[in-house]
Structure 1
Amino acid sequence: MEPQQVNKGDRNKIYFLIIVIAALIGTNGYLFFKDRQQGEKIVTVSTEKDKLRLEVEKIEVELDKVNALNLDLNEKLLAEQKLAREKIAELKLALEKGTITRNELDKAQIQIDELKVFIKNYNDQVNQLQKENIFLKSTKDSLENSIRNANDKANNLANENANLNAKVKKAAALKIQKAEIIAYRTKSSGKKIEVTKSSGAQKLSIRFVVTPNELAEKGHHNIYLRVFDPAGNLLADESNRFEADGQEMQFSHSIFIDYNNDNSTYTIDWTNPKPYIKGIYTVILYTDGTTMGKAQLELK
């Protein structure tokens, strides 16, 4: 049997179908590769956004570290930090956008790189400030220690000086070497008669010699007397007061003597404002704030 002949019209249809199928295959291939590239581009952009966002957060953490140091930042550093935080806020807002172009990403990367340089310089300034603060604190502590040591030394010297002055004052104090008391009455002729009975006594006469002392100050010394009767009562006026041995006291009588470290004998006469009674009278003498000594007399 002879093969069937394909006419020219059918042959043309077959060629047309082949071309259409080839075109469809080519179109589908193009669309497939295009979609794949677009997907890869979206993934790449998203990844870069995350990377940039992480870098911004790191920069913000660096600024937070500075604040955690509790340094007293100067106005310049505070102003620079404020500008940096404003730029960080802008970048974070831009990176949170749903869609972002390559140009926007590139611009953000440039700004982040600038921020990194700023943060490095900023940290260098803060570190220098921290070193200066440490130096100033060390200097301040050193000065405070020096002042404290100087004050301690001054106080010790003052105490030593006070102790030395007290010792000198004690060593220079006038002390009685010997003393006696006599009672007497004065006759109409003016003659003084020593008595031993209380009924005849009018005045007491205290006679004393001061112990020689080269350290004692020569010249006038105020002598205070405190007279006690046999009952232990102080015979003194309420208004007569002086200080001795660190306390305020009343005195019975006071006079000035001229001390010349020459074994002179001094005499003080005292009149009792009350009648004399039987018993022992005690007289204590003071000068320059210290006790000189005492003497006693018994009246019958």
Structure 2
Amino acid sequence: MSVNTPENRSNRKLLIGGLLVVLLSINGILIYMNYQKKEKTEEQAEIIRVKNSELENQIKVYEALKADFERQSQELQAMGLENDSLEAKITAINADLDELRGFRKRSYSLADQRRFRDRASAFEKQLKEKDSEIAQLKEEKEVLSTENTDLRTTQTRLADSLSTMKTTNRNLSEKVKVASKLEAQNINVNIINQRGKEKEDDDNEYRAKRVDKIRVIFKLAKNDVAEQEPKTVYMRLIEPDGAALYNLSMGSGTFQIDGEDMYYTAKRDFVFDNTQQQLSFLYDKNAAYKKGKHTIELYTDGFMIGKANFELK
């Protein structure tokens, strides 16, 4: 049986004290280690933050460079100049931007940082050189523009004068065209029956069933303005229903009046000689004629030159 002597009690106190010292020492060591770990973690986080900040700043630098090169490209286009070299730079910057943005998901090393800073510096140098070149081009263009102001003014005046002359000539041409319009006079319509007998009726009234052919006779009035040259006269034989007789096999076709196609019944070519020459048409419908009022219209050079009516009973 142990005896609780003063010596034993003193030993227990020393043991307990020693244990406390050991525990305190271990706790201190743990606290220090945790502090070191926390400090290292914070240091790593700061490094990552700095790298991320550097990366985002570099991306902004490249985006600004891209915007400036695009501005230069637009300025050159506005001056009508080629910009292939700028397009190549913009393409290269876009490729660098794609690579930089990819570092958001992977490590952005110091070597990468140096590489992109160096490339950005080179782009900035090229940008400044191009700005100087564009400024020089603008200055030269301004000088040329100033020198050409008087020339453009003169050209405008000449163009206005030429336009006025063209208008005057066009008006004169129209007046000459109207003045040179031919006129068909003394238009007569003769009826030829099936026996070949030709009849001219002062009342212009004939029996439809007896009509075999129609002869249209007229004279051309004198016109000293009209060109003495080959011409064509078109005849339109318009029936009571308002339609012009049209038969391709009998020589019918189309001609233009005021830009629009119009059917003609027959045509003939002649040479206008300003001698009040007489012309005629002999038309065979090769079918029965309709009863009622018929109209003869004559056209030459885009104008109606004469008109006559006859009645078939």
Report the TM-score, using the length of structure 2 for normalisation. Answer: 0.49
After the TM superposition, which residues 161-240 of structure 1 pair with which residues of structure 2 at under 5 Å, given as runs? 161-187=169-195, 190-193=196-199, 196-237=206-247, 240=253
1:143 pairs with 2:155: no
Distance, in Å, in 2 between the alignment partners of 1:154 and 1:237 is 48
Q: CA deviation at 1:258?
A: 3.2
Distance, in Å, in 2 between the alignment partners of 1:174 and 1:212 is 8
Name the structure 2 match of 1:258: 271
SS in 2 for 1:170: helix
Q: Once superposed, which parts of structure 1, at least 4 consecutive aligned residues long, lie more than 4 Å away?
A: 132-135
Deviation by residue 1:99-141 (Cα, 9 ceiling, x = unmatched): xxxxxxxxxxxxxxxxxxxxxxxxxxx9xx96x8765333222
Distance, in Å, in 1 between the alignment partners of 2:194 and 2:286 is 16
Q: CA deviation at 1:232?
A: 0.8
Deviation by residue 1:42-86 (Cα, 9 ceiling, x = unmatched): xxxxxxxxxxxxxxxxxxxxxxxxxxxx9x9xxxxxxxxxxxxxx
2:295 to 282, 289, 292: 282
| Structure 2 segments unaligned to the other structure (5+ residues) | 1-74, 80-134
Look up the equivalent residue of 1:287 and give its one-letter code. T
Name the structure 1 match of 2:309: 296
Contact persistence 1:172–1:215 (CA under 8 A): yes
Contact persistence 1:237–1:251 (CA under 8 A): no
After the TM superposition, which residues 49-88 of structure 1 pair with which residues of structure 2 at under 5 Å, given as runs? none
Q: CA deviation at 1:268?
A: 1.1
SS in 1 for 2:282: strand
Contact persistence 1:175–1:293 (CA under 8 A): yes
Distance, in Å, in 2 between the alignment partners of 1:250 and 1:273 is 18
Distance, in Å, in 2 between the alignment partners of 1:167 and 1:194 is 38
Report the TM-score, using the length of structure 1 for normalisation. Answer: 0.51
Look up the equivalent residue of 2:265 and give its one-letter code. S
Q: CA deviation at 1:279?
A: 0.8
1:248 pairs with 2:250: no
SS in 2 for 1:150: helix
Q: Structure 1 residues 266, 176: closer, same or farther in 2, change over 3 A?
A: same
Distance, in Å, in 2 between the alignment partners of 1:154 and 1:228 is 46
| Structure 1 segments unaligned to the other structure (5+ residues) | 1-69, 73-125
Q: How many residues were matched structurally?
A: 173
Distance, in Å, in 2 between the alignment partners of 1:183 and 1:266 is 16
